[in-house]
């Protein structure tokens, strides 16, 4: 779709297209955007119309999650403590998007500091699911996924710490790709949990995700964990998948999984089999320990990363300055939301003297066991298939007061972040009228095969062609 849009814009008018997008955004009830970059986007579009640029994304508008730094555009992580923060630099991925001609139209809503599964913890208020305005879009990249699903942006970037690209993609019926850890530079991504998070594209099709990955993947000396990438992911899709071995983990089905979700995923496995792949059941035996290990590691890293937000160097200021302890406390009490405070406190507790070995160190050992589970399984099969989320989108307010229930939503996505492998969510059907996502996983840095299998499935089914009627 993006390739066709690029040609349409080149032969038509980028300014008119972006005008239509903003008209749609401004009458929307989704609350998908936190900041609109209307003037700069229209100015860029007029420059494009006067003298068309070259580049893989020339003239294509894109929405950016509000935790990725954009020079001259407010970046808040949907938190009061960062309101008014305008970065003086671009994140690495933004530099690459601009170099390929993309036009940034605004920043999208998210759970505060990417902490959540529903985009309900934002200081801007919740984003709504375009398939049902009474339901959540998933999180934490809910604004990006809702904007793409509703046609308010043709593509977007999100960040995935425990499933934050794949979860909203599943709930909103879009494609969400979490690349291998290190494939995309995190320079300019405001950190929540460094060892887990990765920037990834949210799009309408697998082809579009491959195109965006071609642009944003690659080595960046400013991120010591990033690696070189010389693959052309766009050219890897469209090939045969005959002979591909699919593994279906038995731990990802059964109790707690919505019957409609389970049925849609097994139908998807049958489609892959019809395309020439073979499948077998596999076991990932330490899956049941993934969720507690993930939250201990993520909260511990969050307690360290968020210590920098004190209001003295940038961001929120309240009242008059007094002694440092009182000033910090007053700013953080007003600036951070309830869920962010909870995670900072729990992470600080897990890292404190006497508890480090009991909680954090044990969580790291579990992480190693989970990574070995995937290494062993991916020697026997080429791709692992599962539901992305155990159920379709839930109602706004249904789980926000029960954090344990909310954390359980991530049970199928967090193991991938602990292992550092790539995964993608593609639409595979509907349950009670709401989208269902199929999650595919691959070996580290084997995004080419992952995208080829996902594209083959997508092209054999109609689900990616359906759009919500609301808005």
| HSE-up of residue 40 (Cα within 13 Å, Cβ side) | 16
Question: Which residue has tokens 């593994």?
Answer: 247
Determine whether 65 is an active site residue: yes
Q: Tell me which of 78, 159, 164, 386 is the catalytic residue.
A: 164
Determine whether 140 is an active site residue: yes
Q: What is the dihedral of CA 411, 307, 217, 451, to 10 degrees?
A: 10
Q: Tell me which of 65, 107, 204, 231 is the catalytic residue.
A: 65
- CA-nearest of 359, 46, 92, 31 to 221 is 92
Tokens, residue 283: 């076991």
- CA-nearest of 95, 69, 64, 63 to 82 is 69
DSSP H or E run through 278: strand 278-282
Q: Tell me which of 140, 144, 159, 455 is the catalytic residue.
A: 140
Q: Distance (Å, rounded) from C-alpha 220 to C-alpha 447? A: 19
In sequence order, the 6+-apart residues with CB closer than 8 A to the CB of 407 are 117, 291, 295
Could you say which DSSP state residue 191 is in?
P
Q: Distance (Å, rounded) from C-alpha 193 to C-alpha 293? A: 13
Q: Is 301 exposed, middle or buried (0-12, 13-18, 19+ CB in 10 A)?
A: buried
Determine whether 281 is an active site residue: no
Q: How many helices (H) and strands (E) does the chain have?
A: 16, 11
In sequence order, the 6+-apart residues with CB closer than 8 A to the CB of 250 are 281, 282, 283
Q: Is 20 exposed, middle or buried (0-12, 13-18, 19+ CB in 10 A)?
A: exposed
- Give the pairing type, strands 61-65 and 103-108: parallel
**Which string of b and e fits 267-285 if b means at least 16 CB within 10 Å?**
ebbebbeebebebeebebe
Query: Annotated active-site positions, please?
Result: 65, 140, 164
């Amino acid at each position: 779709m993006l390739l066709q849009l690029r040609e349409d814009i080149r032969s038509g008018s980028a300014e008119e297209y972006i005008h239509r997008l903003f008209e749609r955004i401004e009458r929307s009830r989704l609350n998908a955007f936190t900041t609109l970059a209307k003037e700069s986007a229209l100015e860029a579009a007029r420059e494009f119309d006067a003298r068309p640029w070259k580049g893989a994304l020339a003239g294509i508008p894109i929405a950016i999650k509000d935790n990725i730094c954009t020079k001259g555009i407010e970046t808040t992580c949907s938190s009061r403590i960062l309101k008014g923060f305008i970065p003086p630099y671009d994140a690495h991925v933004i530099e690459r998007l601009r170099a390929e001609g993309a036009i940034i139209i605004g920043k999208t809503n998210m759970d505060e500091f990417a902490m959540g599964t529903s985009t309900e913890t934002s200081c801007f208020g919740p984003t709504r699911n375009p398939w049902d305005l009474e339901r959540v879009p998933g999180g934490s990249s809910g604004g990006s996924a809702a904007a793409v699903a509703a046609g308010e942006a043709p593509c977007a970037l999100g960040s995935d710490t425990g499933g934050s690209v794949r979860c909203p993609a599943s709930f909103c019926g879009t494609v969400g790709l979490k690349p291998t850890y290190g494939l995309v530079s995190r320079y300019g991504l405001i950190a929540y949990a460094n060892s887990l998070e990765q920037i990834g594209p949210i799009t309408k099709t697998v082809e579009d995700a491959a195109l965006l990955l071609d642009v944003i993947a690659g080595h960046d000396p400013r991120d010591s964990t990033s690696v070189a990438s010389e693959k052309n992911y766009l050219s890897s899709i469209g090939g045969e998948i005959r002979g591909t071995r699919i593994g279906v983990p038995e731990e990802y089905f059964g109790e707690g999984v919505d019957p409609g979700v389970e049925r849609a995923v097994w139908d998807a496995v049958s489609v892959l089999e019809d395309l020439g792949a073979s499948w077998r059941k596999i076991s990932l035996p330490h899956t049941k320990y993934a969720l507690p290990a993930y939250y201990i590691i993520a909260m511990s890293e969050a307690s360290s990363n968020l210590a920098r937000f004190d209001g003295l160097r940038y961001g929120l200021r309240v009242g008059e300055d007094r002694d440092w302890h009182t000033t910090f406390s007053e700013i953080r009490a007003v600036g951070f939301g309830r869920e962010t405070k909870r995670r900072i406190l729990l992470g600080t507790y897990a890292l404190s003297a006497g508890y480090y070995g009991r909680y954090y160190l044990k969580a790291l050992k579990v992480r190693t066991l989970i990574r070995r589970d995937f290494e062993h399984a991916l020697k026997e099969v080429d791709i692992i298939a599962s539901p992305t989320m155990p159920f379709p989108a839930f109602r706004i307010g249904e789980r926000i007061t029960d954090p344990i229930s909310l954390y359980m939503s991530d049970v199928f996505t967090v193991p991938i972040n602990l292992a550092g492998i790539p995964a993608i969510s593609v639409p595979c059907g509907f349950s009670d009228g709401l989208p269902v996502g199929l999650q595919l996983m691959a070996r580290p840095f084997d995004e080419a095969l992952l995208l080829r299998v996902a594209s083959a499935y997508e092209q054999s089914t109609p689900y990616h062609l359906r759009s919500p009627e609301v808005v």
